[in-house]
C-alpha cells in the first residue's frame, strides 16, 4: 500500500466535489457530460486510485510500511 487505508478513504471522499463540479467546469468549454458519463468518470478515477494505492512501491512488492492507522 502506498497510503494508509484511512487516507485512501479520505481521498475517495475528496474526489466527490471534484467530480460534481468537473462537469460544470467542462461545460464552459462546450463539453457536456451526462450524469451517467460523470458517474462512469468517477468510477474510473476511483479504480485508478485504488490501483495506484495497491501497486507496490519501487517494484519490491508488498512491504506495507506506510500503513499508519
Partner 1 sequence: MATSPPTEVTAMRNAYVDQFPDEARVIKAAFWSSFIALAIGGTLGLVQALHRTDVFRFIQSPDYYTVLTAHGVLLAITFTIFFLVGTFTWAVTTSLDRGVVDVRFTWAWYIMMVIGTVLVAIAIFSGFLESAPSVLGSELNADVLFTFYAPLEAHPIFYIGLVLFVVGSWLAGVDWFRTWLAWRSENPDERIPLPTFMVLTTTLFWYICTFGVALSILVFLLPWSLGITESVNPLLTRTLFWYFGHAVVYFWLMPAYMMWYIMLPKFSGGKLFSDPLARVVFVLFLLLSTPLGIHHQYLDPGIAEGYKFIAMTNTMFLLLPSLLTAFTVVASMEHGARQRGGEGYLGWLKALPWRNPIFTGMALAGLMFAAAGFSGMINAGMNINYLVHNTWWVVGHFHLTVGTAVALTFMAASYWFIPQLTGKELWNRSVALGQVLLWFIGMTFMSNAMHRSGLFGMPRRTAEPQYQGFDFEPAVGTVGEINMQVALGGVILTLSLALFLLNMIMTSIGDDSESIPDNTYAGTLSGAEDSPRILDNLKLWTAIAVVLVIIAYTLPLASIIDAGGLFGPGIEGVRLSTWVDPAVIESLGEVIR
The residues binding partner 1 (CB under 8 A) are 3-7, 9-10, 13, 16-17, 20-21, 23-24, 27-28, 35, 66, 68-69
5 Cβ neighbours under 8 A, 6+ residues apart: 67, 69
Shortest distance in whole angstroms from residue 63 CB to partner 1 = 15
67 three-class SS: coil
Residue number with CB closer to partner 1 (28 or 58): 28
Residue entry with cell 471522499: 13
Residue number with CB closer to partner 1 (60 or 65): 65
Amino acid at each position: 500500500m502506498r497510503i494508509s487505508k484511512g487516507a485512501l478513504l479520505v481521498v475517495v471522499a475528496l474526489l466527490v466535489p471534484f467530480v460534481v463540479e468537473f462537469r460544470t467546469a467542462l461545460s464552459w468549454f462546450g463539453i457536456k457530460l451526462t450524469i451517467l458519463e460523470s458517474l462512469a468518470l468517477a468510477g474510473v478515477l476511483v479504480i485508478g486510485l485504488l490501483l495506484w494505492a495497491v501497486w507496490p512501491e519501487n517494484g519490491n512488492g508488498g512491504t506495507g510500511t506506510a500503513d499508519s492507522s
